[in-house]
Amino acid sequence: MKNRNSIILLYFLLLTTKTILAQDKIDQFLKNQPIIDVHIHITKGYADNEDYNKINADIDIAKIEWMGQRFDENNIVLALGGGSMKYAKLWQELDKRHRSGPRFPCNPLREQDEPCENELPNLKELDSLFKNGTFKYLGETSFHSMGIHPADERFNPYWELAEKYQIPIGFHADAGPFQRNMEETPNWNEEYGNPLLLLPVLEKYPKLKIYLMHYPGRYFNECIEVMKKYEQIYCEITAVSMFAPKEKWEPRVKKLYEEGLGDRLMFGSDYVGTIRKNIEIIYNLDWLSEEQKRDVYYNNAAKFLNLTETEITRHHKMVE
Ligand SMILES: [Zn+2]
């Protein structure tokens, strides 16, 4: 009996050591590695969230500060995210790592989008916010969840603005998420997450800087098709890679590289508090070279966003 217990103990000791060693390896790899997160959601603070509701008496600010701590821990030097006009303004003001903009369109029925007075922002105001650099982002698109065709004519003046200021647009290019709140999204139509529906938009505005979100998702072939047609279209890996079984999505990521498009894959987290988890997902793709992993974490997004040498140097300094 004693022997058996020692064997079990030894086994767990080995297992723990193995996990610690693996974590050490990632930490070593991430040393001095800046990371760009191209998929966060800007929202109000939730008073019942125990992660941050004690940080600051103002619950909205508490959430921003808590996010900032997660950025510090994970070497996030820049983050793209959308939300209501109110919070998109506030987040970028309080933490300069945020490149913010309006959720597109915002959904008046969805709590996450509060306050959403108008589905589409006032054009004149948006123009000046892009122009003076307050806003540097448009998205995430909610065409699928609101049941609106991506090429709906109402969006034309917004595409025009985004093209003019070269604003990155995050397009939700997947069918999910599969846990839906029917009261918030009664008109859900997953077909509207298909990036091929963007083709008429791109024909009209061929310089639009769009990136396709949730790459290894349902529309992975369509993503490849659009990316082959337009060299400025990038994609990111989130959500599907975290929730779906690896054997389902990994071959799709391999395919992206086989098609010669791996240098346009970017890092994102999407779900609050999952940055480290998403970092590990990339790190554990053992067929990627060290350089390719670093490209996903930072270099591909730096290229997509046309970051200057000064900005890139500053980002590396931030994580020294
Ligand atoms: Zn999404």
CA 117, CA 107: separation in Å to the nearest integer?
Answer: 9
Q: How far is the CA of 290 from the centre of ligand 1 (A)?
A: 27
Q: How far is the CA of 289 from the centre of ligand 1 (A)?
A: 27
Distance CA(155)–CA(142), nearest Å, equals 12
**Residue 44 sits in the same domain as residue 12:** no
Q: By three-state DSSP, how is residue 12 classified?
A: helix
Lowest mean pLDDT among 3-17, 192-206, 225-239, 292-306: 3-17
Task: Tell me, in angstroms, the distance from the centre of ligand 1 to residue 235's CA.
Answer: 12
> Could you tell me which of 52, 158, 179, 59 has the C-alpha nearest to residue 103?
158
CB 320 within 8 A of CB 79: no
Ligand 1 centre from 22 Cα, in Å? 30
What confidence score (pLDDT) does residue 2 get? 64
Cα of 172 from ligand 1 centre, angstroms: 5
Q: What is the pLDDT of residue 179?
A: 76
- Concatenating the DSSP letter of every residue in 145-191 gives HHT--TT-GGGHHHHHHHHHHT--EEEE-SS--SS--TTT-TT--GG
Residues 133 and 281 in one domain: yes
Asked whether the whole model's pTM tops 0.85, one would answer yes
The rounded Å distance from CA 40 to ligand 1 centre is: 10
* Distance from Cα 214 to the centre of ligand 1, integer Å: 7
- Residue 191 in this model has a pLDDT that exceeds 80: yes
Residues 102 and 132 in one domain: yes
DSSP-derived secondary structure letter, 46: P
CA of 28 to the centre of ligand 1 (A): 31
- Asked if the model's pLDDT at residue 272 lies above 90, the reply is yes
Q: Please tell me whether residues 161 and 209 are part of one structural domain.
A: yes
How many angstroms separate the alpha carbon of residue 97 from the centre of ligand 1?
Answer: 21
Quote the ligand 1 centre to 140 CA distance (angstroms): 7
* Residue 6 CA to ligand 1 centre (angstroms): 48
Total domains in the fold of the chain: 2
Residue 276 pLDDT > 80: yes
267 pLDDT band (50/70/90 cuts)? Answer: very high
Q: Are residues 276 and 203 in the same domain?
A: yes
SS3 280: helix
Q: How far is the CA of 2 from the centre of ligand 1 (A)?
A: 53
Structural domain of 162: 34-318
CATH classification of the domain holding 60:
3.20.20.140
Q: What is the DSSP letter of 104?
A: B
40-80: pLDDT as tens digits: 999 999 999 999 999 999 999 999 999 999 999 999 999 99
